[in-house]
Amino acid sequence: MLSDWWAALLDIIYPPRCPVCRRPVDAHGAWCPVCLAPVLAGHELNLAGRRLAALASCRVLCDYTAGVKTLLHLLKFRGSTRAAASLAWLLAARPEGLRPEGIQAVVPVPLHPGRLAERGYNQTELIFRSWSERQGWPWLDTLVRTRPTAPQWELTPAARRRNVRGAFALACPETVRGKTILLVDDIVTTGATMNECAKVLRRGGAARVLGLALAGGDYGR
Q: How far is the CB of 69 from Zn ion (least distance, A)?
A: 14
Measured in degrees and rounded to the nearest 5, phi and psi for residue 49 equal -75, -5
Among 91, 83, 82, 81, which Cα is nearest to 39's? 91
Q: How far is the CB of 140 from Zn ion (least distance, A)?
A: 35
Q: Where on the chain is the footprint of Zn ion (CB under 5 A)?
A: 18, 20-21, 23, 32, 35
Q: How far is the CB of 207 from Zn ion (least distance, A)?
A: 41
Q: How far is the CB of 22 from Zn ion (least distance, A)?
A: 7
**Which lies closer to Zn ion via its Cβ, residue 94 or residue 119?**
94
**Which lies closer to Zn ion via its Cβ, residue 20 or residue 181?**
20
Q: How far apart are CA 34 and CA 20, in angstroms?
A: 10
Q: How far apart are CA 184 and CA 107, in angstroms?
A: 6
**Which lies closer to Zn ion via its Cβ, residue 19 or residue 220?**
19
* DSSP E strand boundaries for the chain: 40-44, 57-63, 105-108, 143-145, 168-170, 180-188, 208-216
**Which lies closer to Zn ion via its Cβ, residue 66 or residue 144?**
66
